[in-house]
Amino acid sequence: MLLRPQWQYFLQLLLGASLTLAFAPFNHWWVVFVAIPAWLYLILTNSILSVESPTAQTSVSNTKTLQIGSFGLSRFKLTFAFSLGYFGVGLSWVHVSIADFGGLPLVGSIGLMLLLCGYLALFPATLVYLLDRFIKIDAWPIFLPLGWLIIEWLRARLLTGFPWLSIGYSQLHGPLVGYFPLIGEIGVSALVVCICIMIALGFLKKSFIPATLLMLVIGISSLVLNQTKWTETSGEIVSVSMIQGNIAQSLRWTPEQDLPTMRKYLDMSEAHWDSDIVIWPEAAIPQLEPIATEFLRMLDQIATESESALITGIVNYQFESQKIYNNLLALGFDQKDANTIPYRYMHNNRFAKHHLLPIGEFVPFENVLRDLAPIFDLPMSSFTRGDFKQSNLTAKGYLLAPAICFEIAFPSQIAANLYTNTAAIITVSNDAWFGNSHGPHQHLQIAQVRAKEFGLPVLRSTNNGVTAFIDHHGIIMSSAPQFEDAVLSADIQLTNGITPYREYGDLPIWLFFITLAVSSYISNRRLLTIKRTQ
């Protein structure tokens, strides 16, 4: 039975929205293998064409024209509806920060949400439109995954990039988990799409043998890969304590709360200076670094005398250059330097955030937007970008690769900052902006995938959750409860070895699908040549 176009668009919205269940905190990985094939099957059938021209008795040439025109546009619109549901529900946590802290009325906050989700929905919708125009359906299993690689690459780079909710993250607890150390999350995304288009074509052609064989090969090989020990524990253990201060977002930039916040973190750390490393989250110290130098010197002295190291987030405003940086500082004892250098302003043991969050940390076209609404003039929304590649933080002789907040969603940046002797990845965040939503859980899931990809432990310190220790397999060792004052301590096992993804990055998966596409093109050209000569 054929559905009217409006009902098909609504169905696509529901299918896209259901993908949220595949990600944290729900983790129903199998949903992608239902929702995505259903979306693809619906856009590959002739239902829209039939509804739009029910009495059409056209020639072959007229049918082709209709498919390229109105049918192609319908596929674009159906995919846009699917993607709007996908991002609209999956990223609904963004609305929490806009509504609670942006100072906009409900209509304005919903409008901004729709603008963001509409922008993201254009990527898969445009891909489908181009495939519909130029690629035969039988070749979609090759060109759709390659196109998916391209749009995910673009989504992670255009307008500073926003690669959140990439479909590969759904497989952290799924059957493709073994591929993360080999081809990374973006490669897993391409495999998921490849499987899904084969399932959709199976329903279309009433033949499931190719899809079944592909799923068996990928599933079994993933199982084998997941048993492969790319990295192993070295036997060296580092004791770490992470302090979750649970400071309300409304109090973070209130001047009279500066000293109580700093005292709270200091008091919560007092019993844990016997740890090798103590970690405070993003911007834990609410004063600007030039103003907080005396406090930082005191922390440095405490940590040094305890033969411990402290890593803390702080904002550094350089009065001379008027540049402002979202920084991580390492203070305290360095076991490789008996004469540990005391803290001084602008010392080198620091990291400046590179990937800044639009609106929250920088405002595009700020001369125009700043005066429009409070959300475009939030405190600390004029940061300067740090370098893409920086030195690791040194804490008690251990090198840690930093990622501040959503930088953990950029594997290329993490890879660029991993060195031969990098011991672990440290990521700090303040997810208080997003309240009791699924955003912080998705954030944690992303950090788990980074651990799995690079075979390194990840130390995730947050203001109000989810603070967690993640081992080199991407498994959560322990986590602190959300919205509570908490100290999380653990002995972290360091690793030896290197994963293929850390060594080669995205190159293998790009080469694989580009080679398939070129081979398919050459093969089709030869077949056409043979037919013409006969």
- Short-list 252, 235, 164, 167, CA closest to 442: 164
Contact 153, 411 (CB under 8 A): no
Q: Label residue 118 exposed, middle or buried (CB < 10 Å: 0-12, 13-18, 19+).
A: middle
Contact 171, 177 (CB under 8 A): yes
Helix (H, G, I), strand (E, B) or coil at 277: strand
The two tokens of residue 139 are: 């070749």
CA-CA distance, 131 to 525, in Å (whole number)? 18
Q: CB under 8 Å, gap of 24 or more: what pairs does 514-522 form?
A: 514/146, 516/142, 516/146, 517/142, 517/143, 517/146, 520/139, 520/142, 520/143
User: Which of 405, 407, 452, 453 is labelled catalytic?
Assistant: 405
Contact 62, 73 (CB under 8 A): no
Angle between helices 439-454 and 93-101 in degrees, nearest 10: 130
CA-CA distance, 352 to 279, in Å (whole number)? 16
Contact 474, 449 (CB under 8 A): yes
Which distant-in-sequence residues (6+ apart) come within 8 Å of 514 by Cβ? 146
> Is 282 a catalytic site residue?
yes
Q: Which amino acid is at 233?
A: T
User: Which of 282, 289, 361, 407 is labelled catalytic?
Assistant: 282
User: Dmax of the chain from CA atoms?
Assistant: 88
Helix (H, G, I), strand (E, B) or coil at 210: helix
Which whole-number Å values give the CA distances from 5 to 14, 74, 111, in the listed order?
14, 9, 24
Contact 329, 277 (CB under 8 A): no
- Short-list 202, 188, 206, 81, CA closest to 140: 202
> Is 353 a catalytic site residue?
yes
CA-CA distance, 404 to 429, in Å (whole number)? 6
User: Which of 77, 353, 396, 452 is labelled catalytic?
Assistant: 353
Q: Which amino acid is at 289?
A: E
The two tokens of residue 382 are: 């004029």
∠ CA 337-339-343, nearest 5°, is 95
CA-CA distance, 448 to 231, in Å (whole number)? 15
* Residues annotated catalytic, as ranges: 282, 353, 405
